[in-house]
Structure 1
Amino acid sequence: MTTAPPVHRSHTAGNPDLLPLLGRTPLARIQADLPHPHPGFWAKLECLSAGGMKARAAMSMLSGARRRGELRPGAPVVESTSGTMGIGLAFAGQALGHPVILVGDCELEPSMRQLLRTYGARLELVDRPAPRGGWQAARIARLREVLARTDDAYWPDQYNNPDNPAGYLSLAAELIGRLDHLDVLVCSVGTGGHSAGLVGPLRRRWPRLKVIGVDSVGSAIFGQPARPRLMRGLGSSIHPRNVRHEAFDEVHWVGAAEAVDACRRLARSSFVSGGWSTGAVALVSAWAAGAAPGAVVATVFPDGPHRYLGTVYDDDFCRAHGLTATAPATRPLEIPHPRAAEASGWTRCRTVVDPLAAPRGEAPAPHIPAPGGAV
């Protein structure tokens, strides 16, 4: 491992003029066929906020640490990222006057690496996943090394920091200010931050609100076995404490082929689109709207399409990974429990458990094929 150059404290007080660029994003009505016609749903377009959705959490975590004296003026911030939190922290670092060191991995897209460096962040990349916990565990191990050799460095720990969900209280307030009623909220789940931050205020406003979590096939968050995942920014190989399992009424695991199909349909007919998380929540939101005609359904599109031009929107990439070889599922396969079967495509479960609280010694889930397009 090469030794990185020392990090120098920032001598600036930050750039508070950036703060008005955060949040206050538009709410779009989405009626694209996904893949079938549906009554429509609302999508908060977080790609139109400076720093994207996770800038809200980044500002909350750094501001909270500064108030408590955990983050000294000008001290460096070190965090693990698959990309989107890195952009948010780059924004918060500039706004508050902190250099940012981001620990990524070799699967981080070259365009994202370039963008993060352009925003002033320093990157450390791990070159192989850990035997247990995959890329995320490998990044955390490197992060601890960086912390040990960097004076006064602060680790926000986005996976477990309660200031992460607190950053989305403003997003909840914006939804309440725009919607007269809400029946169903659909949330992508990675660190668990934005779902945990939204559920409390929205359920106080609408007590009968149904909350659907959207995870990635191969993610361990809701009790499925951890597997290598093509989709980034959605799901996890570890168990973030910010995930409020008890808040969800059901969970859907979405495969890469379904997410790609939804992203491309959005782009062709609604103009607004995004990456893996956006495609996954759009698919499930359209399904939820069609399953309960008359229900008001809302979701959050975390980012835009630009990061994914070489993956989701690249025909060669999709062919190489078998994402366009067969028709994606048009509705979810339902399983009675997260351990009843291992999903490999769009799958729904109305039993939501915290896997860390589940009984040990259970047999591993049998593998089942993804449902076909005609299901």
Structure 2
Amino acid sequence: MGDTPVLWVPELWTGGERGFWAKLEGRNPGGIKDRPALHMVGEARKRGDLRPGAPIVESTSGTLGLGLALAGVVHGHPVTLVADPGMEPLMRRLLLAYGARLEIVAEPYAEGGWQAARRARVRDLLARLPGAYCPDQYTNPDNVGAYAGLARELAARLGRVDVLVCSVGTGGHSAGIHRVLRELSPGVRLVGVDTVGSTIFGQPARTRLMRGLGSSIHPANVAYEAFSEVHWVAPAEAVWACRRLASARYASGGWSVGAVALVASWLARREPAGTRIAAVFPDGPERYFDTVYGDAYCAEHGLLDGKPEPDPDELPYPGAAEAVRWTRCTRVTRPEPAACGGAIEAAEAGR
């Protein structure tokens, strides 16, 4: 795990001379979240929060689940993962093959959606399983600390990073990489990439098709003060970028990868020549054969509508209007608790 490749990617619209550097975290055994899974479990064992052989229980949309299954094998812990029906069939089969037990919640909560429902199930399981431990990726500072190595790898490979582009879900990798990278590359700017329908940056909660980024709660690990701007990307735009990456560079991934590549390509066209842009690709394409790369699925959901517009819509502040396509805002603030209709409280109850 670690020391993943860094690939030069020409910007996606024209394939011209400008572009960005992509950190290919899909080359880890399970993806980027192998790093926090092993780190959180290791630190919990050191503190005595996780006893030898005790169960690990966590809520996941998939990638962290792969990392926790790996941690369970390495350290000898049974792993129970709480997911929702949106988890891809391939991911379910992989997690079961890796020895994890799956619990699938049936209905989303009115406030906090599927994530709140999953976290409530985690609380129930923790009460029923003596000695069980939940890493709680949304609030655990060890999630943030796990990415120091990735930041140092980027600095060693690129020397200087001017702009860091990260998808945002739990907030762990954007906060952790930026925190270390700004010591090695003073002045580095952090650009967040979210999905339409996500509440993280103050947009209204909607049903979300994309997994691995976005949230229906406000995770405590999101470092709002660190972001210079945020972009919301729609599923069809991410699909176009994923497929363009695959055909042009023989390297791609899932929803987060497409969304990040779209934004990083736009920045490559807009920033002054010589700006060194690093984008983190959290996973590879393997688990998305039936979704992002499945023509029937994409056609059913209207995701094959062609190349996105070359520029995003602009918002003066996050709540000015609802983002329904690629949209950008340079004013990033921590949303007020009332804006999420109780989702924060639902999340905090699951700590």
| TM-score normalised by the chain length of structure 1 | 0.88
SS at structure 1 position matched to 2:190: strand
Q: Which amino acid aligns with 1:345?
A: R
Aligned partner (choices 181, 198, 216) of residue 177 of structure 2: 198
Instruction: Show structure 2 runs of 5+ residues with no match.
Output: 342-351
Aligned partner (choices 215, 228, 248) of residue 236 of structure 1: 215
Distance (Å, rounded) in 1 between the aligned partners of 2:278 and 2:208 = 26
Question: Is the alpha carbon distance of 1:31 and 1:161 closer, same or farther for their aligned partners in structure 2, counting shifts above 3 Å?
Answer: same
Judge which range, 349-358 or 304-313, deviates more.
349-358
Distance (Å, rounded) in 2 between the aligned partners of 1:253 and 1:146 = 34
Aligned partner (choices 32, 38, 47) of residue 26 of structure 2: 47
Hey, what does 2:324 align to over in structure 1? 344
Question: Is the alpha carbon distance of 1:82 and 1:116 closer, same or farther for their aligned partners in structure 2, counting shifts above 3 Å?
Answer: same
Distance (Å, rounded) in 2 between the aligned partners of 1:138 and 1:110 = 20
Aligned partner (choices 127, 130, 138) of residue 148 of structure 1: 127
Hey, what does 1:354 align to over in structure 2? 334
Distance (Å, rounded) in 2 between the aligned partners of 1:110 and 1:359 = 34
Deviation per residue, 1:26-63 (Å, 9 max, x gap):
11111152466460110111111122110100111111
SS at structure 2 position matched to 1:187: strand
SS at structure 2 position matched to 1:355: coil
Hey, what does 1:373 align to over in structure 2? none
Paired residue total: 340
Distance (Å, rounded) in 1 between the aligned partners of 2:12 and 2:21 = 14
Q: Is the 8 A contact 1:35 1:262 kept in 2?
A: no
Hey, what does 1:329 align to over in structure 2? 309
Q: Displacement of 1:94 after TM fit?
A: 1.0
Judge which range, 27-36 or 172-181, deviates more.
27-36
User: How large is the Cα RMSD of the aligned pairs?
Assistant: 1.6
Distance (Å, rounded) in 1 between the aligned partners of 2:14 and 2:147 = 30
Q: Displacement of 1:359 after TM fit?
A: 8.6
Distance (Å, rounded) in 2 between the aligned partners of 1:45 and 1:325 = 27
Q: Is the 8 A contact 2:230 2:330 kept in 1?
A: yes
Q: Displacement of 1:329 after TM fit?
A: 2.5
Q: Which amino acid aligns with 1:116?
A: L
Hey, what does 1:187 align to over in structure 2? 166
Q: Displacement of 1:330 after TM fit?
A: 2.2
The structure with higher relative contact order (CA 8 Å, sep 6+) is 2
Displaced runs of 4+ in structure 1, greater than 4 A? Answer: 357-361
Distance (Å, rounded) in 1 between the aligned partners of 2:45 and 2:12 = 46
Identity %: 59
Instruction: Show structure 1 runs of 5+ residues with no match.
Output: 1-21, 362-375
Distance (Å, rounded) in 1 between the aligned partners of 2:221 and 2:340 = 22
Aligned partner (choices 239, 242, 254) of residue 260 of structure 1: 239
Q: Is the 8 A contact 1:38 1:287 kept in 2?
A: no
Deviation per residue, 1:173-224 (Å, 9 max, x gap):
1111111211110010000000111111111112211110000000000000
1:314 aligns with 2:294: yes
Q: Is the 8 A contact 2:12 2:262 kept in 1?
A: no
Question: Is the alpha carbon distance of 1:359 and 1:44 closer, same or farther for their aligned partners in structure 2, counting shifts above 3 Å?
Answer: closer
Deviation per residue, 1:6-45 (Å, 9 max, x gap):
xxxxxxxxxxxxxxxx111111111152466460110111
Judge which range, 293-302 or 35-44, deviates more.
35-44
Work out which of the two has the higher radius of gyration on C-alpha atoms and give 1 or 2: 1
Q: Which structure 2 residues correspond to residues 126-141 of structure 1 after superposition, within 5 A?
A: 126-141=105-120
